[in-house]
A = this chain, B = another copy of it.
Amino acid sequence: MTEDAAGRPLRADARRNRARVLEAAETVLARDGLSASMRAVAEEAGVGLGTIYRHFPTQEALYQAIIADRLRKLVTEGETLLAAGDIARAFFGFLTRIVEVSAEKRTLSDALTGAGVDVKDGTSDIARDMRALIETMLTRAQREGAVRDDLRMPELLALLAAACTAVERGQWQAHVAPRALAVLFDGFRPRVRRDVPEGEQGAHPEP
Instruction: Check: A88 CB closer than 8 A to any chain B CB.
Output: yes
Q: How far is the CB of A40 from chain B (nearest CB, A)?
A: 20
| A161 & B166 in contact (Cβ 8 Å cutoff) | yes
Instruction: Check: A57 CB closer than 8 A to any chain B CB.
Output: no
| A146 & B177 in contact (Cβ 8 Å cutoff) | no
Most B C-beta atoms less than 10 A away, residue of A109, A177, A179? A179
Instruction: Check: A53 CB closer than 8 A to any chain B CB.
Output: no
A185 and B183 in contact, given A147-B202, A205-B146 (Cβ under 8 angstroms): no
Q: Interface stretch among A6-14, A70-78, A189-197?
A: A189-197
Contacts of A161 in B (CB 8 A): 166, 171
Cβ contacts A13-40/B at 8 Å (1 or 0 each):
0000000000000000000000000000
CA distance A206 to B145 in the complex (A): 7
Contacts of A207 in B (CB 8 A): 143-145
Instruction: Check: A56 CB closer than 8 A to any chain B CB.
Output: no
Contacts of A1 in B (CB 8 A): none
Q: How far is the CB of A191 from chain B (nearest CB, A)?
A: 6
Contacts of A170 in B (CB 8 A): 115
A176 and B205 in contact, given A183-B188, A192-B194 (Cβ under 8 angstroms): no
Residues of A in contact with B (beta carbons under 8 Å apart): 86-89, 92, 109, 113, 115, 143-147, 151-152, 154-155, 158-159, 161-163, 165-166, 169-173, 176-177, 179-180, 182-192, 194, 201-207
A-B contact pairs, 29 of them (CB 8 A): A86-B203, A88-B205, A89-B203, A145-B204, A145-B205, A146-B205, A151-B183, A154-B173, A154-B176, A154-B179, A154-B180, A155-B179, A155-B183, A158-B166, A158-B171, A158-B176, A158-B177, A159-B183, A159-B184, A161-B166, A162-B180, A165-B171, A183-B187, A185-B202, A186-B187, A186-B191, A188-B202, A190-B202, A192-B194
